[in-house]
A and B are shown apart, each in its own frame.
Chain A
Amino acid sequence: KNQVEQSPQSLIILEGKNCTLQCNYTVSPFSNLRWYKQDTGRGPVSLTIMTFSENTKSNGRYTATLDADTKQSSLHITASQLSDSASYICVVSEGSNDYKLSFGAGTTVTVRA
């Protein structure tokens, strides 16, 4: 059973609008949570990395939040651009084994002009 669930599966937004992606996980103990952006046909690229003690981290127009108590994270995209069209993947690592990663299935974002 996948321990990282992402929602929605896909979404379409207009250029310039904001959107929020959700990630719920059951991985325990928890070490860190990462968000990746994956353009079609390319490898994922890291956006943010947060440990259990951090509850927000930004990378330009991307802001990730983490609530380790409820085991939820979100990725907020501000003022979307056409180049934001991609799949966004939530990845959680176990507390005892940092190299044990659990990947979400991703949320596909399409930004339209």
Chain B
Amino acid sequence: EAQVTQNPRYLITVTGKKLTVTCSQNMNHEYMSWYRQDPGLGLRQIYYSMNVEVTDKGDVPEGYKVSRKEKRNFPLILESPSPNQTSLYFCASSLRISSYNEQFFGPGTRLTVL
């Protein structure tokens, strides 16, 4: 089944404890992206990747890192999480970003930083 998977789905952690949220897609997509969703603000892009070893900042990259060592995986790293990073995170992928490439979203990771 074609899908985007994220792990973990739920995570409660404490300030400063490094964590990684994994994202994997099995559709051989070139483009992958991370978003955070907060009430009343809509989805905001954190980082995106056009292909392997090609990443760039989105609108809210502060406090996050990513890597794209292989096509299927795009982990999101929080080196020193803070409470303002408490949010719902989505990973997404598409074949390429163009007018007719649908973007597929993962199920989301709900992160709470105490």
Contact = CB atoms under 8 A, between A and B. Distances in A.
A98 B102 contact: no
Interface of B: 4, 31, 33, 35, 40-45, 48, 50, 90, 92, 97-100, 102-108
A4 B98 CA distance: 19
Size class of the A contact interface (CB-based, 8 Å): 20 to 34
Given A51-B99, A99-B50, A99-B97, A43 B105 contact: yes
A47 to B, nearest CB: 10
Interface of A: 2, 4, 31-32, 34, 41-46, 49, 51, 89, 91, 93, 98-99, 101, 103-106
Given A44-B105, A45-B105, A49-B102, A105 B45 contact: no
A108 to B, nearest CB: 11
B42 A105 contact: yes
Contact of B42 (A32, A45, A103): A103
Contact of B45 (A32, A42, A49, A101): A101
B92 A43 contact: yes
B42 A104 contact: yes
Contacts of B42: 2, 4, 89, 103-106
Nearest first, the 3 A-B pairs at minimum CB distance are A43-B105, A99-B97, A105-B42
Nearest to B97: A99
